[in-house]
Amino acid sequence: MLMTSLDISNNYNIDPDNVQTLGRYQIICQLGQGATGIVYLVWDPFIRRNVALKVAKTETDKFRENFLAEAQSAGRLSHPNIVAVYDAGSENDFCYIAMEYIKGATLENFCRKENLLPPNKGLEAILEVCKGLEYAHREGVIHRDIKPSNILLNLDGSAKITDFGVAQMTDRTFTTSIRGTPHYLSPEQVKDEIVSFQSDIFALGCVLYEILAGEKAFPGENSYGVLYKITSTEPRSILSIRSDLPKVLDEIVRKAIRKDPSERYQSCAEMAAELDVALRGIVASPRNLEKSKEVADYFQNLSFFADFKKEQLSELTALANIVKFPGGKVVASEGEIDDTFYIILSGQVKVRKGEKDIATIGTGECFGEMAFLGGQPRVANVAAEGDCVLMKITAALLQKLPDSVGLLFFRSFARTLVQRLSKNLEERN
C-alpha cells in the first residue's frame, strides 16, 4: 500500500522527504528521469538489497494493462547484458517496475566530444549491447527504444540494456504529439510501418555513430526536423569528424542505418562479428604487437598452446582479444548462441548447470568449444571464480589465421575433450 499520497501533477516527482514508500519499496533518492517515467533508488526490505524502481503515471486502464503485460514479458529475459526485472505492480495512479540497480553511468555521459570513450572501449560496449539484443530478438522481443540513456555502463565496464518492456508498450505513432527527441527512431517507426529486429539495429547504429563522433547522426532544431532527416537524408561520414578512426567503422555504421531494413545487418550477431574485426584492428597497434611477442613466451607454458610455435603465438596474440573478468562475473550464459570460446590465461572459472556446480576449469584450459564447434546454444553458465584473464577467440578470428594455426586449435580441442572424457570415466569408477 502507498503510505503517503503522491503528487500526480505533470511533474509527478516523489519527494523522498515526504513519501517514504511505494508498495514495499522504501524510496532513497531519484536516479534519473525519462519520457516514460522517473527512476528511483529504493530499498527492498523483502530481499534486503537496493533496486531501481521505474515509476510511470497510468493515464488509462489500457496503459496500465500494457505496462504490466510488457513488464512481465521483459521479466522473462535473463542475460548478462540486460538489466534484470524483478517485480512490477501498480499503486493508485502509478505503475512501477523494480529492476536491477547498476552502479555506474549511462552511455549518454560519453556522447560529448570532450568526454568520448576510447574507440576500443566504445566498441566493447556496443558489442555487449549486440549480445543482449541478439538474445532478446531470439526470444521475440524488440526493444524499440535503444538510445544512449538506455545503455548502462557498470563500474567494471560491462554494458547492460535497460527499459525493455517500457519501450515495447510506448506509443510510437507520431501524429501531432512526439514523446521525447526521436534521434534514434528508424525510418519504419517514423512512417508507422512494421517494426522488426532491424529497427533496433538502426537505433544501435545511431548510438555507435554518436559515441564515436561526439554528435548525433541525425541532428535537428526540433523533432520534425529530425524525423525528416531520418527518412530523407544521410549523415556525414564519421571519418570527416574523426580522421583517426578506421574506415571499417564508417562502413559498419552506414550499413546499420540504411533506410531499407533489408539492407541493414540481418541480426545483431552479424553486426557484432564485423565490430569484433574492427576492434581487433584498433587493438593491434604496433605497441600491442610488440607486447604480444613478450607474452608469447608465457603462453607457450600453457597446456592449450603446447603444440604452438612462438611465431604462431605472436601472430595470434596480436589479433586475439584478451579480457579480464572479476570474480563472480558471468562469462557465458546457458542458452546463449555464440561463436566464441575462451582460453584461460590465469585464474579459473566455475561451470554451473541450473543450481549445480558441475566443473571447475583452470589456467591453460579452454571452455565454450562445444558451442563453437556445433553452433548450438551453450548448455551451462560459466562464471569467473576470482579474477581471471581469458583469451577470447571467435570464428572470424580463426578465419584470419593461417590454416596451420587453425589445425592446432582443433588438435587442442580434441586433446581437451579426451582429457575430460577420461576424467569423467575415472570419477564414475
What CATH number should be reported for the domain holding residue 162?
1.10.510.10
Whether 317 shows a pLDDT value over 90: the answer reads no
Residue 47's domain is classified under what CATH number?
3.30.200.20
How many structural domains are present in the chain? 3
Whether 159 shows a pLDDT value over 70: the answer reads yes
Q: What is the mean pLDDT of residues 145-155?
A: 93
d(CA 243, CA 180): 32
Q: What is the mean pLDDT of the chain?
A: 82
Q: Which residue has the higher pLDDT, 300 or 115?
A: 115
In the prediction, which pLDDT does 53 show?
92
Instruction: Give the tens place of pLDDT for each residue, 182-237.
Output: 899 999 999 989 899 999 999 999 999 999 999 999 999 888 999 999 999 999 99
In the prediction, which pLDDT does 378 show?
85
In the prediction, which pLDDT does 13 show?
55
d(CA 359, CA 229): 54
In the prediction, which pLDDT does 169 show?
43
Domain stops at, among 81, 99, 117: 99
Residues 95 and 115 in one domain: no
Whether 260 shows a pLDDT value over 50: the answer reads yes
Query: What values do phi and psi take at 220, rounded to 5?
Result: -175, 155
Q: Are 69 and 88 in contact (CB under 8 A)?
A: no
Residues 322 and 184 in one domain: no
d(CA 383, CA 59): 43
Q: What is the mean pLDDT of residues 315-330?
A: 79
In the prediction, which pLDDT does 171 show?
40
Q: What percent of the chain has pLDDT over 70?
A: 86
Residues 120 and 254 in one domain: yes
- Annotated catalytic residue: which of 145, 200, 338, 339? 145
Q: Which three cell numbers stand for residue 306?
A: 603446447
Residues 243 and 127 in one domain: yes
Residues 92 and 120 in one domain: no
Domain interval for residue 245:
104-281
Residue 288 resides in a domain: no
Whether 178 shows a pLDDT value over 50: the answer reads no
In the prediction, which pLDDT does 150 show?
92
Residue 249 resides in a domain: yes
- Quick one: how far is CA 120 from the chain centroid? 15
Closest CA to 318 of 302, 296, 303, 300: 296
The structure's pTM equals: 0.64
Residues 269 and 159 in one domain: yes
The answer to whether 156 is a known catalytic residue is no
Residues 66 and 191 in one domain: no
- Structure letter (DSSP) for residue 82: B
Closest CA to 54 of 9, 77, 84: 84
Domain stops at, among 48, 72, 99: 99
Domain stops at, among 79, 99, 119: 99
